Chains A and B, each alone.
Chain A
């Protein structure tokens, strides 16, 4: 019997500060995964926590995590240096249903630290650009400093229309500010042949109501990447349940109408 709790050890190849509170960890391992899937990353003595994989699924030498310093494990991961080793289990979960996205326009919405799975999805889209229609990324952050994809924008912009907005603009900020709802005017899609992919903190529901509904994308074609507390990743510990679903097994990607009625 395989011990699914036993993690493997991986080396940190590179560390990069993406914002004051977020670091990118590049880990030396070929990870076979689908954008949207997550891993449990850990450090002996500190524990494990779930992270969505942020890099391209085509990357064969390494994969990236974006770690926001919010809890015990993420703080411990922030204290590490290049060459240190951490542990990994996974990938877990379902990932985005890429086949069903083919030939369609896609609107991606992400706020703050919800960008990793969307970043991975964008890399996938770029690699297979011809198979998809118009692509949009709406990304909101608290301040311009908190935008985690600054060094990706130029590269992504060739294939994806990127609309940035911040809650609190700083002098010199040229993008939008306030709710992302304003950006709807800049989106041109065919709603009957479009999908939406989202990941991020709570206000995402507002994004559905104020952007995706007016755009005419039905709930069944809105895919949400959910975040929950997670300890086992195997559907046993019960921490990650929402309604009758396990985020670790059935998710983390759900159709919006699978989960929008859940109280948890």
Chain B
């Protein structure tokens, strides 16, 4: 037995939830940005310091919990990764405070085949009008206590129940590619070591604008800077998104830039996602959501780039195996 929510009842459910939570209905088709910004804000105050009273205050958490509704399984996977990154090896206080102060409800338009390990409740499409509720936490279960969730009919009495259909995930080349994180890790670092031409080609195309990292649901580079109030009475220590593809990202005071041109910076972006991340967490920091290629103003197709790197690597490997 499970609980079912009619698709037509979603607005009413959100209305109901908004009495208790600050509800955000996240819709991928309405924004270029991923949902990471709700937890790692594009710009946030970490501390305020009042100069006269020498008083330090830590950015207060909001009184109402955030309820983030509508993440699809790909974005849930990304959130799960970001949670891990912000927890290990050291805890990021501000991110984790925001996460603790939130409820995440996933909405899956395809049948769930992989276990979901993040969020409080997932709604899985079972036919064109209905979702099945999969509560993952106590809070998730409490949400399904709403009268809008109906028990399904007992077996044998399915006369007016439209039944369960299977909605397989759409095949996506990038999603498939990033599943083999070990291969990607080897191929990307090999390709740089061997000075393959692809990095020179990318250097010519990439504008170094950082959009790929801003729209990425996992990229988490940031900078911390102090802002002083106009009257000079107070300052705030602000954290804002940064991007490893921007020129000054690795430049130290005094002028030395450890990644002086875009070739190095673009490679570093790949290196972090596919090589360093694999060593650190055992997987690529890419879930294949496709935002970076969709919003790249230079139309860099990350799927094509990765495929080319992998193909190049495999060719080389089979060649050397043949020669051996």
Contacts and interface: CB of A to CB of B under 8 A. Distances in A.
A244 B258 CA distance: 15
Interface residues of A, number: 38
B268 A241 contact: yes
Secondary structure type dominating chain B contacts: mixed
Contacts of B93: 1-6
A76 B258 CA distance: 24
A249 interface: yes
Contacts, number: 112
Given A2-B93, A4-B93, A44 B253 contact: no
B36 to A, nearest CB: 13
Contact of A5 (B46, B235, B264): B46
A72 B253 contact: yes
Nearest to B189: A244
Indicate the member of A48, A49, A202, A231 with the most B CB atoms within 10 Å. A231
Interface stretch (B13-21, B27-35, B84-92, B169-177): B84-92
B227 to A, nearest CB: 8
Interface size range of chain B in the complex:
35 or more
Contact of A239 (B47, B249, B267, B275): B249
A236 B51 contact: no
Nearest to B263: A263
A264 B225 contact: no
Contact of B258 (A70, A228, A235, A236): A228
A71 B90 contact: no
A246 to B, nearest CB: 9
B224 A229 contact: no
A126 interface: no
A236 B252 contact: no
A35 to B, nearest CB: 22
Interface in A188-208: 201-202
Interface string B116-134: 0000000000000000000
Nearest to B260: A264
Nearest to A85: B54
Contacts of A243: 271, 276
B228 A45 contact: yes
Interface string B271-283: 1100110011000
Interface stretch (B149-157, B215-223, B309-317): B215-223
Nearest to A48: B224
B204 interface: no
Interface string B74-95: 0000000000011001111110
A143 interface: no
A263 B228 CA distance: 37
B46 A4 contact: no
Interface string B50-89: 0100001010000000000000000000000000011001
15 contacts: A5-B94, A6-B58, A44-B49, A45-B49, A48-B224, A201-B256, A229-B249, A236-B85, A236-B222, A238-B272, A239-B250, A241-B272, A243-B276, A244-B279, A249-B89
Give 9 nearest A-B pairs by CB, closest first.
A71-B253, A44-B49, A45-B235, A3-B93, A70-B254, A70-B253, A238-B221, A234-B90, A47-B226
